[in-house]
């Protein structure tokens, strides 16, 4: 079930939040701690105004809520609100008020007994949850997840608490994000969403229901994802999930913030993950764990796509193909014979190898000249310092692979003094924003432009094929745009 955490200051605001999200939610949580004092008296009438089961909660500041008044008042408010037809009441594990519990029991309200910990995962957590369940209450834990190892511990809940049918397990913070999406895989009977983030990592009900379709996950659902750090703003879940839905492929794709690649491979075995994309900073880090790699991965020394094949992890590099595809015509006809590649990092490696493999002469300019030299030596290219970029005004193609031009450096152009000619092709790898300062300049000069989004979508389509075995649905391609475009 998808539960909407109501964050309105008034009853009416909360009713509006429900109306806005009604198609995506199965129940909601009324948070007395968010309500203005003058609204609290109406809380008991709230369940009769909505067509959903309602959880009653008043969360203390120390547990991540807003309540700062005294404890006696909080309990009194909960007790008085219980006059209403709530389906559940969420009470903290250290709160023992017999009168409140008895009233809940009398009124047929199920007790969710919750434990919040913003410091980590207590070692006896499953034991504590079992004890709560033995009392007939629903155990709930909301714990801060500080690493992939912590995430593994939380995902053990399904196995360790097999006998506890109703439970809620939530991992808070970036590393805990997969627990919110894969709530069914962890054994939780609900996941929380909010119109705005009421707890770290919460997403909107619409994203949960329409982008991830988290409530449809079953034992046959194949799990895919993207690993990186940071990765929660990745566009890849949009590309992949849209494609899966369109072809009715029972699969889900989600971001996994990863601190340790080794730990992630353990998690991947545990969750039987079928494949994943790899982004910064792990494109090299995954290599030792792969049983099979393609020629490009070997050349570039980095991998952005991993799939499970005959019990081996197979690594490919779709950045390579995603980058070069739109240029192939011009490379084949020799319209493009020479290129200036700005940057010598991971993305530049794929770019330079792809250009060299298609017979293009390349000069690499980079802030750290040694790095440019090393890539140039490997690929039989030329190199120079970034400042000397204007000396290469005669090239047919310029490829920009540094982060200059995206937040927080969105005003920057790494080759600001380079005199562009209208006959040149300019290829920007940054995809947010769509127009970087360099592309704006190139557009004004009448250059042929290639956008980072183009490469991102092309490499994503190839990943989709690797993951699903099907071509990316053509109909969807025009819908793959970033919000700010």
Segment near ligand NDP (CB under 6 A); pick from 6-14, 202-210, 236-244, 449-457: 449-457
Cβ–Cβ < 8 Å for 316, 303: yes
Residues 49-88 that bind ligand NDP (CB under 6 A): none
Contact status: 354 vs ligand NDP (CB under 6 A): no
Count of beta carbons in the 10 Å neighbourhood of residue 371: 16
**Cis bond before residue 230 (omega within 30° of 0):** yes
Task: Closer to ligand NDP by CB, 178 or 345: give it.
Answer: 345
How many chain residues are in contact with ligand NDP, going by CB under 6 A? 26
Nearest in space to 138 (alpha carbons), one of 129, 128, 125: 129
Contact status: 286 vs ligand NDP (CB under 6 A): no
Distances (CA, A) of 44 to 83, 95, 102, 467: 6, 21, 17, 49
List 371, 440, 441, 445, residue binding ligand NDP (CB under 6 A)? 371
List 429, 442, 462, 476, residue binding ligand NDP (CB under 6 A)? 429
Contact status: 344 vs ligand NDP (CB under 6 A): yes
What is the 8-class DSSP label of residue 42?
A: G
Contact status: 402 vs ligand NDP (CB under 6 A): yes
List 368, 387, 411, 477, residue binding ligand NDP (CB under 6 A)? 368
Residues 450-469 that bind ligand NDP (CB under 6 A): 452, 455-456, 459
Residue 461 CB, nearest distance to ligand NDP (Å)? 11
352 SS3 class: helix
In this structure, what is the dihedral angle of CA atoms 318, 321, 323, 326, given to the nearest 10 degrees?
-140
Length of the chain: 485
Residues 105-164 that bind ligand NDP (CB under 6 A): none
List 191, 317, 366, 463, residue binding ligand NDP (CB under 6 A)? 366
Cβ–Cβ < 8 Å for 208, 191: yes
Residue 262 CB, nearest distance to ligand NDP (Å)? 21
Contact status: 403 vs ligand NDP (CB under 6 A): yes
* Residue-by-residue DSSP string for 222-288: EEEEEEESS-TT-SHHHHHHHHHHHTT--EEEEEEE-S-HHHHHHHHHHTT--EEEE-TT-TTTTGG
Nearest in space to 461 (alpha carbons), one of 344, 326, 288, 282: 326
- Give burial (CB, 10 Å; 0-12/13-18/19+) of 159: exposed
Which residues are paired to 90 by β-bridges? 112
List 241, 274, 316, 401, residue binding ligand NDP (CB under 6 A)? 401
Residue 452 CB, nearest distance to ligand NDP (Å)? 4
List 406, 449, 480, 482, residue binding ligand NDP (CB under 6 A)? 406
Contact status: 345 vs ligand NDP (CB under 6 A): yes
Task: Closer to ligand NDP by CB, 140 or 349: give it.
Answer: 349
Residue 87 CB, nearest distance to ligand NDP (Å)? 45
Tokens 């089961």 belong to residue: 53
As a three-state string, the secondary structure of 8-25 is CCCHHHHHHHHHHHHHHC
Residue 378 CB, nearest distance to ligand NDP (Å)? 15
**Cis bond before residue 481 (omega within 30° of 0):** no
Contact status: 274 vs ligand NDP (CB under 6 A): no
The phi, psi pair for 427, rounded to 5°, reads -120, 115
Out of 140, 283, 314, 461, pick the active-site residue: 283
Task: Closer to ligand NDP by CB, 157 or 415: give it.
Answer: 415
Contact status: 287 vs ligand NDP (CB under 6 A): no
Cβ–Cβ < 8 Å for 11, 18: no
309 SS3 class: strand
Going through 46-167 in order, the beta strands assigned E by DSSP cover 54-57, 88-92, 110-117, 138-144
Contact status: 430 vs ligand NDP (CB under 6 A): yes
Which residue has the closest beta carbon to ligand NDP?
A: 345
What would the two tokens of residue 368 be?
A: 């750290």
Contact status: 414 vs ligand NDP (CB under 6 A): yes
Contact status: 480 vs ligand NDP (CB under 6 A): no
How far apart CA 198 and CA 34 sit, in angstroms, is 10
Contact status: 352 vs ligand NDP (CB under 6 A): no
List 346, 425, 448, 462, residue binding ligand NDP (CB under 6 A)? 346
List 1, 50, 52, 280, residue binding ligand NDP (CB under 6 A)? 280
Contact status: 316 vs ligand NDP (CB under 6 A): no
Contact status: 257 vs ligand NDP (CB under 6 A): no
Does the annotation mark 283 as catalytic?
Answer: yes
Segment near ligand NDP (CB under 6 A); pick from 1-9, 155-163, 246-254, 425-433: 425-433
Contact status: 384 vs ligand NDP (CB under 6 A): no
Positions marked active-site: 283
Contact residues for ligand NDP (CB under 6 A)? 280, 319, 322, 343-348, 366-368, 371, 401-404, 406, 414, 429-431, 452, 455-456, 459
């Amino acid at each position: 079930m998808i539960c909407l955490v109501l964050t309105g200051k008034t009853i009416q605001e909360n009713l509006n939040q429900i109306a806005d999200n009604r198609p995506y939610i199965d129940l909601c949580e009324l948070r007395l701690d968010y309500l203005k004092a003058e609204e609290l008296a109406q809380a008991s009438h709230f369940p009769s105004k909505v067509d959903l089961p309602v959880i009653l909660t008043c969360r203390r500041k120390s547990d991540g809520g807003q309540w700062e008044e005294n404890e006696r008042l909080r309990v009194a408010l909960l007790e008085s609100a219980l006059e209403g037809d709530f389906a559940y009441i969420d009470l903290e594990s250290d709160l023992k008020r017999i009168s409140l519990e008895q009233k809940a029991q009398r009124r047929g309200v199920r007790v969710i007994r919750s434990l919040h910990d913003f410091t980590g995962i207590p070692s006896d957590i499953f034991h504590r949850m079992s004890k709560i369940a033995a009392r007939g209450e629903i155990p709930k834990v909301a714990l801060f997840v500080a690493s992939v190892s912590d995430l593994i511990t939380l995902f053990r809940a399904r196995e360790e608490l097999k006998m506890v049918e109703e439970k809620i397990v939530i991992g808070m913070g970036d590393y805990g994000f997969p627990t919110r999406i894969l709530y069914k895989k962890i054994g939780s009977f609900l996941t929380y969403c909010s119109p705005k983030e009421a707890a770290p990592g919460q997403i909107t009900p619409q994203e949960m229901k329409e982008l991830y379709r988290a409530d449809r996950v079953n034992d046959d659902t194949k799990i895919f994802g993207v690993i990186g750090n940071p990765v929660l703003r990745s566009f890849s879940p949009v590309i992949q999930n849209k494609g899966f839905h369109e072809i009715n492929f029972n699969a889900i794709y989600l971001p996994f913030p990863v601190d340790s690649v080794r730990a992630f491979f353990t998690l991947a075995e545990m969750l039987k993950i079928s494949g994943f994309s790899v982004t910064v900073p792990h494109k090299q880090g995954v290599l030792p764990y792969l049983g099979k790699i393609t020629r490009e991965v070997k050349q570039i020394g980095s991998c952005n796509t991993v799939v499970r094949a005959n019990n081996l992890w197979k690594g490919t590099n779709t950045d390579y193909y995603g980058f070069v595809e739109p240029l192939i015509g011009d490379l084949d006809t020799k319209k493009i014979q020479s290129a200036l590649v700005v940057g010598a990092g991971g993305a530049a490696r794929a770019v330079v190898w792809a250009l060299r493999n298609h017979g293009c002469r390349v000069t690499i300019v980079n802030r750290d000249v040694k790095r440019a030299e090393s890539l140039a030596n490997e690929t039989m290219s030329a190199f120079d310092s970034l400042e000397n970029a204007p000396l290469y005004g005669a090239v047919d193609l310029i490829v920009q692979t540094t982060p200059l031009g995206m937040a927080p450096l969105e005003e920057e152009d790494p080759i600001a003094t380079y005199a562009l000619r209208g006959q040149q092709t300019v290829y920007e790898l940054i995809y947010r924003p769509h127009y970087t300062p360099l592309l704006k300049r190139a557009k004004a000069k009448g250059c042929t432009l290639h956008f980072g989004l183009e490469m991102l979508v092309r490499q994503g389509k190839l990943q989709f094929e690797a993951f699903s075995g099907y071509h990316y649905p053509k109909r969807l391609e025009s819908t793959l745009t970033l919000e700010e475009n």
